[in-house]
Every structure is written in structure tokens, then in C-alpha cells.
């Protein structure tokens, strides 16, 4: 049987004002970065051409980038794709350009500067209209996810918990996107998928904390809302840390060993897991405390006319 500790080991809620200032600063930086610098959208959103090449020997990315630059293909991205012999080239949308001719020009140019055979494996083109649709659908996906979460948490817990969880999720998503805008890291479909995964991860962490908060509000007869939330955070702290650390270890392996093509995805998840763990402890819990959640809000509703029959 689980025994709830009477005293919290760490006074998380006592530091909530400091955490509030930190979160406010981070969100201000994120908003400023998105507004002033904008996101460095990939060809999935802006439109462009994707070319996959296979080299007979290990590809020299530095040489490929230099060749692309010197031959008028400067607005491009060159990455390893899978093995060291596979290369993925992304070219930005060019007005009035012929996609087939463009890909053939790139292939012919790179074939002349390497020893050995170069294979043109695939060419994909994303038009600007498709890119606009992806941008709208991506934003809609994030919005629908947040609305569904708001309804789910409100039905399972209480409306203050629903608002607290959505505030934490908006906090996490905004900071993650803000860092991409600040550092001008390419934002493509895998990164968008990572942002949606961050929403799921952060929500799961928040639900675990909220579940313990509700349980402790019902079990503990004495104590203020602040002290009970503190106890709940300490009860779930080991689970939160173990889950976060093991996830981070996997993401670090993906980031350093998964190849350049997956860097953006792994980096977004790394930021999201770190920020999501922090927000589950401080942002979500501080939000419900500021909204005045109390024991009375979480006690089971007794059915009217219910009679306890003690007769054998």
C-alpha cells in the first residue's frame, strides 16, 4: 500500500514565483523570435525540389555544398540520408524554373566533380500550393489537439485542471517553436511531428501529476492546497525524472547517431521533453493553484437520495 508522506521534501510551490518569471522570459523571447525572425520553413511548407543521390564512395558533403554554391545552386540544403554514401539535396522553390531540368542540371554538375559513379535515385517536387496547405493543416492539427485535450481533461478532472494543462502545453509548444525561430533551424514536417509528440508527452506527464493531486486532495484531511500540491509533486518526482532521463538518453542517441536528416526531429523532442518536464512541475501545477483549486472541487459528488443499507 502506498503511504503518502506528510511533508514534502522539495518546496516546488515555494519557488513558483521564480518559475513564473523564468517562463515569462522564455515565452517573451520565443514570441519575439517568431515575430521578428520567423520560422525557417523547409520545402515541405515553402515548396521546392528534393533530390536523392547515391554515391559509389563516401560522399564529401563539404565538396558537394561548395560545388552547389559555385554553380548557382546556393539556396539549397545538403544532408546525408541513411548511410555516408546517400545524399539528400533540397532546393528552394524557383519561379519559372523547370523541375526536371533543374534536377538534371544538379545531377550532371555533381557527377563531374567526383570519382566514381553517382546514381540519381529520386526527384520529388513540392509546389507552393501544397506547401500552403501543409502549413494550414499543421497549424490546424496543433489547434485541434489542444482543444481535444481541453475537453478530455475537463471531463476527467475539473475545468481548472483543463485550463492548467492547456496553459502548460501552449507554454511548451511556443518555447519549442521559438527556439527553432531563434536559431533559424529548418522547420519541416518531421519537426512538426515532433511538436505534436511533445504535446502528447507533456500531457501524459501532467495527467500523472494531476491524478496524484486529486488523490491527495481526497485523502489528506489537513493541509493547504499549496502543501498538498507540493506533496503530490514529490510523490511523482521519481517517476517524472526516470521517464524524462530515459527518454532523453534515447533522443541523444538519435541526435548524435541518427544522421543529419533526423537532427531537427530529435532536437525538437529534446527541447520538448526538457520543457515539458519543467512545465508539468511548475506551469500546470502553479496554474491550478492560482485559479484557486481546493479540496471541495475534487470531492466525489454524492448522489441525492442515496441510502446506506446496513441490514444483513
HEC string of the chain? CCCCCCCCCCCCHHHHHHHHHHHHHHHHHHHHHHHHCCCEECHHHHCEEEEEEEECCCCCHHHHHHHHHHCCCCCEEEEEECEEEEEEEEEECCCCCCHHHHHHHHHHHHHCCCCCCEEEEEEEEECHHHHHHHHHHHHHHHHHHHHHHHHHHHHHCCHHHHHHHHHHHHHHHHHHHHHHHHHCCEECHHHHHHHHHHHHHHHHHHHHHHHHHHHHHHHCCCCCHHHHHHHHHHHHHHHHHHHHHHHHHHHHHHHHHCCHHHHHHHHHHHHHHHHHHHHHHCHHHHHHHHCCCCHHHHCCCCCCCCCCCCCC
- Report whether pLDDT(237) > 50: yes
What percent of the chain is modeled with pLDDT above 90? 25
pLDDT greater at residue 170 or residue 126: 170
Query: Measured between alpha carbons, how far is 127 from 51 in angstroms, rounded to an integer?
Result: 15
Indicate the domain borders of the chain: 13-37+130-297, 48-126
Q: What percent of the chain has pLDDT over 70?
A: 88
Q: Pick the residue with more confidence: 300 or 117?
A: 117
Select the more confidently predicted residue: 193 or 73.
193
In terms of pLDDT, which residue wins out, 240 or 141?
240
Is the pLDDT at 105 greater than 90? The verdict is no
pLDDT over threshold 90, residue 245: yes
Does the pLDDT value for residue 304 go beyond 60? Answer: no
How many C-beta atoms lie closer than 10 Å to residue 155's C-beta? 10
With 80 as the cut, is the pLDDT of residue 128 above it? Answer: no
What does the pLDDT read at residue 310?
Answer: 47
Q: If one looks up domain 48-126 in CATH, what number appears?
A: 3.30.70.3400
Cβ(182)–Cβ(33) below 8 Å: yes
The pLDDT of residue 2: 42
Provide mean pLDDT across the span 294-310: 56
C-alpha span between 270 and 265 (Å, rounded): 9
The CA-based dihedral angle spanning residues 69, 256, 250, 19, taken in that order and rounded to the nearest 10 degrees: -80
Mean pLDDT of 281-304: 75
Confidence bin at 1 (pLDDT 50/70/90): very low
pLDDT at 243: 92
What is the number of residues in the chain? 312
Inform me whether the pLDDT recorded for 6 exceeds 60: no
* CATH of region 13-37+130-297: 1.20.1640.10
Residue 103 has pLDDT above 90, yes or no: no
Q: Residues 6 or more apart from 106 whose CB is under 8 A from it?
A: 51, 68, 73, 89, 91
Check residue 42 and give left, alpha or beta (phi > 0: left; psi -120 to 50: alpha).
Answer: beta
Specify the pLDDT at position 41: 84
pLDDT above 90 (res 271):
yes
Residue whose grid cell is 500546470: 284
Give the mean pLDDT of 242-259.
91
Average pLDDT value for residue range 162-184: 92
Model confidence at 303, pLDDT cuts 50, 70, 90, reads low
CA nearest neighbour of 179 among 271, 251, 278: 271
97: pLDDT confidence band, cut at 50, 70 and 90? low
Q: What's the confidence (pLDDT) of residue 307?
A: 46
pLDDT in tens, 18-74: 999 999 999 999 999 999 999 888 877 877 888 889 898 888 888 888 888 888 886
pLDDT band at residue 98 under the 50/70/90 scheme: low
pTM summary value: 0.80
* Residue 9 or residue 97, greater confidence: 9
When computed from its CA atoms, the radius of gyration of the chain, rounded to whole angstroms, is 25
Amino acid at each position: 500500500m502506498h503511504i503518502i508522506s506528510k511533508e514534502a521534501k522539495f518546496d516546488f510551490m515555494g519557488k513558483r514565483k521564480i518559475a513564473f518569471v523564468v517562463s515569462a522570459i522564455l515565452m517573451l523571447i520565443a514570441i519575439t523570435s517568431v515575430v521578428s525572425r520567423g520560422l525557417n520553413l523547409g520545402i515541405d511548407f515553402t515548396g521546392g525540389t528534393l533530390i536523392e543521390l547515391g554515391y559509389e564512395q563516401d560522399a564529401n558533403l563539404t565538396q558537394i555544398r561548395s560545388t552547389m554554391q559555385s554553380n548557382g545552386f546556393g539556396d539549397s540544403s545538403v544532408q546525408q540520408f541513411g548511410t555516408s554514401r546517400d545524399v539528400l539535396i533540397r532546393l528552394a522553390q524557383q519561379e519559372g524554373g523547370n523541375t526536371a531540368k533543374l534536377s538534371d542540371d544538379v545531377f550532371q554538375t555533381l557527377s563531374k566533380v567526383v570519382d566514381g559513379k553517382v546514381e540519381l535515385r529520386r526527384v520529388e517536387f513540392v509546389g507552393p500550393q501544397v506547401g500552403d496547405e501543409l502549413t494550414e493543416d499543421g497549424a490546424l492539427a496543433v489547434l485541434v489537439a489542444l482543444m481535444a485535450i481541453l475537453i478530455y481533461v475537463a471531463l476527467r478532472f475539473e475545468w481548472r485542471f483543463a485550463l492548467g494543462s492547456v496553459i502548460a502545453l501552449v507554454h511548451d509548444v511556443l518555447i519549442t517553436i521559438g527556439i527553432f525561430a531563434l536559431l533559424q533551424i529548418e522547420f519541416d514536417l518531421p519537426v512538426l511531428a515532433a511538436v505534436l509528440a511533445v504535446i502528447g508527452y507533456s500531457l501524459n506527464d501532467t495527467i500523472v501529476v494531476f491524478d496524484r493531486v486529486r488523490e491527495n486532495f481526497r485523502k489528506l484531511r489537513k493541509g493547504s492546497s499549496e502543501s498538498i500540491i507540493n506533496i503530490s509533486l514529490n510523490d511523482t518526482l521519481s517517476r517524472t525524472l526516470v521517464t524524462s532521463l530515459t527518454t532523453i538518453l534515447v533522443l541523444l542517441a538519435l541526435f548524435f547517431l541518427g544522421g543529419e536528416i533526423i537532427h531537427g526531429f530529435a532536437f525538437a523532442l529534446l527541447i520538448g521533453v526538457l520543457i515539458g518536464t519543467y512545465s508539468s512541475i511548475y506551469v500546470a501545477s502553479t496554474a491550478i493553484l492560482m485559479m484557486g483549486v481546493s479540496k471541495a472541487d475534487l470531492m466525489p459528488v454524492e448522489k441525492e437520495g442515496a441510502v446506506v443499507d446496513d441490514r444483513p
